[in-house]
Structure 1
Amino acid sequence: MYDELWKLLRESRNTIAFTGAGISTLSGIRDFRGANGVYLQPWHGKQVEEILSLDCFLEDPGLFYRWAQEFIYRLDEFHPAAVHRALAGLEARGMLHCVYTQNIDLLHQKAGSRKVYELHGSPAHHHCLRCRKEFGYAEIAPRVLAGEVPHCPCGGVIKPDIVFYGESLDSDLLDQAFRDMEEAELLLVLGSSLTVQPAASLPLATRSGGGRIVIVNAQPTPLDGYATLHYDDLFKVFDDLEHRLAKL
């Protein structure tokens, strides 16, 4: 059933993956806009987009950290699923150049992917808003789970290095992503609704560069019409790929 996808992967000399929250639902992490999406229900009377805004964080960091106890600071409880494992396997066999991800769950790295570019930042690192001192996830997570709003010894509030609403993506990383995707022969768009800009526009660079796009997502995306192949079941596609990779 997935012979055509396998053929594209075997023939491509430059394949890139672009991943969104949908791939991590297979690991038990809720996505943002799916049927059970985090954004669908207010949290303590506030929309999640507001909680994840820079203005809200600066005004009341405790609100963010109370919300984040469940959604960000329990990442050790989750493990890579079929998509993460297969992408790591493709990279290890020289069939995947790199992964660009909108996710902040660190599961690509746990699966063994080495070239992972996190477009929306990462909770692996934190910094003090006053003195810029850096802190790691392992140091901050227990404090947050204990109900603490983490502060630096200097007294400043500590913020995770994720991109909040109201903040700009790293311009150098975004430029790099556009260049890489423009040069890609094959782009795998996986588990992304392709609605959050500017990252959602990245696959168009592959199209403009003459490459092919494969989309695997449970819901329709604005770029489905540009896809050479389109599937809606991430597990079936990547379970198949895992079995094929195991035979190499």
Structure 2
Amino acid sequence: MDVPAAVLDLTRTARRVAVLTGAGMSAESGVPTFRDAQTGLWEDFDAAALATPEAWSADPAVVWAWYQWRVALARSVAPNAGHHALADWAHTVKVAIVTQNVDDLHERAGSKVLAHLHGSLFDPRCSSCDLPMELPEPPAEPVRRLEPPACGTCGGAARPGVVWFGEALPRQPWEAAVGALRVADVLLVVGTSGIVYPAAELPELAARHGVPVIEINPQDTELSPHVEAVWRTTAAVGLPGLVAASRR
């Protein structure tokens, strides 16, 4: 598949590339999005409802069990060609990856992630004192209830190290993302719907700083009318082609 000329023109001479990745990129590796139906034990649950402070307050054991299932799922899949392409690109240009995804697929492909805007499945912390905690091994078979481990410092329950719906983003990842945009030559927005704020604000910030924005997504999104160039393809197809073409 040929890279659109408008996309190639914006990336061929770029020395600093910022990349915002969303759920669509992980979905290509087999990680379900929040819009996908849950499976197995969780088919009767709404993912978006489980990922809230209210769900945690109501029943921590259910929420912890669901997140441990997600940990096991994330470990069972592999980075796709798009993840590997970004890691490869970083050998020749400065690539700053900002992701909305809570898995570790970028890292397993060899990339250093500048900012996990929504946290990570692999960084639990105490729900009381906020200290980091070790991630236990998920159950061999999924369960519908699992009591969270207790903090060794204060005895509080471990909570997933993610940002739930309704919670504010941590300051440090957000500031790192904004800082990367300010010095970038181009911003690639890959596999994100552009409807979850404040992450969806990043392309707007880039545009205000004069940074051209490229969207790589098989579908139209809220961002599509506002970007410099669009490529209607997936991350796993588009990114390897773009990286290869940018080096010619």
Give the TM-score normalised by the residue count of structure 1.
0.85
> Which residue pairs with 1:80 in the alignment?
79
Q: For residue 160 of structure 2, give the secondary structure of its aligned residue in structure 1.
A: strand
CA distance in 2, matches of 1:199, 1:179: 14
Decide whether aligned partners of structure 1 residues 135 and 104 sit closer, same or farther in structure 2, where only a CA change above 3 A counts.
same
Aligned AA (1:214)? I
How many pairs does the alignment contain? 241
Q: For residue 123 of structure 1, give the secondary structure of its aligned residue in structure 2.
A: coil
> Which residue pairs with 2:100 in the alignment?
102
The answer to whether the 8 A contact 2:34-2:47 is kept is no
Q: Alignment partner for residue 28 of structure 1, among 22, 27, 30?
A: 30
> Which residue pairs with 2:204 in the alignment?
204
The answer to whether the 8 A contact 1:88-1:113 is kept is yes
* Corresponding position: 1:186 with 2:186: yes
Q: Which of 1-10 and 193-202 deviates more?
A: 1-10
* Corresponding position: 1:8 with 2:10: yes
User: Structure 1: which 4+ aligned runs deviate by more than 6 Å?
Assistant: none
The answer to whether the 8 A contact 1:194-1:221 is kept is yes
CA distance in 1, matches of 2:221, 2:79: 24
CA distance in 2, matches of 1:171, 1:12: 28
The answer to whether the 8 A contact 1:69-1:144 is kept is no
Decide whether aligned partners of structure 1 residues 93 and 136 sit closer, same or farther in structure 2, where only a CA change above 3 A counts.
farther
Aligned AA (1:17)? V
> Percent of pairs identical after alignment?
28
Decide whether aligned partners of structure 1 residues 140 and 160 sit closer, same or farther in structure 2, where only a CA change above 3 A counts.
farther
The structure whose residues are more often helix, as a share, is 1
Decide whether aligned partners of structure 1 residues 242 and 11 sit closer, same or farther in structure 2, where only a CA change above 3 A counts.
closer
Q: Cα distance, 1:244 vs. partner?
A: 4.8
The answer to whether the 8 A contact 2:115-2:176 is kept is no
Q: Which of 218-227 and 234-243 deviates more?
A: 234-243
The answer to whether the 8 A contact 2:17-2:184 is kept is yes
CA distance in 2, matches of 1:124, 1:50: 21
Deviations, residues 27-76 of structure 1 (Å, cap 9, x unaligned)? 1112233xxx248xxx5655322211012112211221333343333322
Higher relative contact order (CA 8 A, sep 6+): 2
Decide whether aligned partners of structure 1 residues 215 and 208 sit closer, same or farther in structure 2, where only a CA change above 3 A counts.
same
Decide whether aligned partners of structure 1 residues 201 and 150 sit closer, same or farther in structure 2, where only a CA change above 3 A counts.
same
CA distance in 1, matches of 2:72, 2:167: 21
> Which residue pairs with 2:110 in the alignment?
112
In angstroms, what is the RMSD of aligned CA positions? 2.7
Q: For residue 18 of structure 1, give the secondary structure of its aligned residue in structure 2.
A: strand
CA distance in 2, matches of 1:225, 1:44: 35
Q: For residue 27 of structure 1, give the secondary structure of its aligned residue in structure 2.
A: coil
Deviations, residues 209-230 of structure 1 (Å, cap 9, x unaligned)? 1111110112222221222221
Q: For residue 133 of structure 2, give the secondary structure of its aligned residue in structure 1.
A: strand
> Which residue pairs with 1:141 in the alignment?
138
Q: For residue 200 of structure 2, give the secondary structure of its aligned residue in structure 1.
A: helix
Q: For residue 189 of structure 1, give the secondary structure of its aligned residue in structure 2.
A: strand
Decide whether aligned partners of structure 1 residues 69 and 134 sit closer, same or farther in structure 2, where only a CA change above 3 A counts.
closer
Give structure 2 stretches of 5+ with no counterpart: none
Aligned AA (2:239)? F
CA distance in 1, matches of 2:243, 2:79: 13
CA distance in 2, matches of 1:127, 1:221: 34
